[in-house]
Amino acid sequence: MQKLTRPGKLHFYILFTLMVCVPTLSVAKTDATQPSPGHNCPETNILLIMAEDLSTSLTFVMQSRAAQARDNRAVMLSQLNAAGVVLKQATSRGAGARTALLINSTILSRTNESNDQLLTWFPLLHSALLTLPDNEITNSADEAIGRAEGILRDGERGNALDELKKAGHFLVCDDLSLPLEAAIKEQTQLLSRILQRKPVETKDYDTLIDSLRTALSYILNHSKI
């Protein structure tokens, strides 16, 4: 005859199994709901405004390149400068991107080892967060900003600037911000070459144009009505 398991031993086995498995399931659920940085992409109405900005910026870039073929450095400079102005405006579209730029300004405000100047920016950051939707992305950014403030004000362990960078990354859309950052970098470098009267060739515009086209392609593919 098969030996029966005593109820006390069976109860202990089931309880032990639940104690091991349930925390694991809870952690897995928490990780699944944690938002990923760089996925806060704008709504269609914002994307369409950005499409106008980037189309205008791209036109200025192409006019600057056309002036290069005529060796007209004055027009090259003016058109490329105008392209940069519109391009930087595009990066601020949407509440998330706007707040991320404010966080970046906060990071850049640090000029020495003192925390006092940096801490004066946090009331503005908290106000900016109140303009964002109440969701997991905003909460994650808020938590990172709170940790940064705790490090600076109360001497908690950690790197405040790294926490601010994390907060900013939660609020942007990598598919847009990365090509836009590349475009701004190329526009700045090309502008510097023109101002220094260094040789500029038609091919020197290629990376800038490709970056703008990549960002514009993403926008148009994700804003179809």
For 163-202, how does the pLDDT look when each residue is reduced to its tens digit (9 = 90+)? 999 999 999 999 999 999 999 999 999 999 999 999 999 9
Q: What per-residue confidence (pLDDT) applies to 18?
A: 44
Tokens of 183: 């475009």
State the pLDDT confidence band at 156, using cuts at 50, 70 and 90. confident
pLDDT higher than threshold 90 for residue 43: yes
Residue 6 within any structural domain of the chain: no
Range of the domain at 96: 44-221
Q: How far apart are CA 143 and CA 56, in angstroms?
A: 37
The answer to whether residue 19 sits within a structural domain is no
- Flag whether 213 is in a domain: yes
Place 112 in a pLDDT band, splitting at 50, 70 and 90. confident
pLDDT of the residue at 32: 52
| 163: in domain | yes
Cα gap 173→155, rounded to integer Å: 32
Give the pLDDT of residue 24: 44
pLDDT band with cut points at 50, 70 and 90 for residue 225: low
Q: Taking residues 124-137, report their average pLDDT.
A: 97
Asked if residue 160 is part of any domain, the answer here is yes
Query: Per the domain annotation, does 28 fall within a domain?
Result: no
- Domains: count for the chain: 1
Confidence of residue 2 (pLDDT cuts 50, 70, 90): very low
Q: Would 16 be classed as within a structural domain?
A: no
Examine residue 199 and state whether it is found in any structural domain, yes or no: yes
Q: Provide φ and ψ at 3, rounded to 5°.
A: -75, 130
Contact 52, 203 (CB under 8 A): no
Packing angle, helices 136-154 and 122-129, rounded to 10: 170
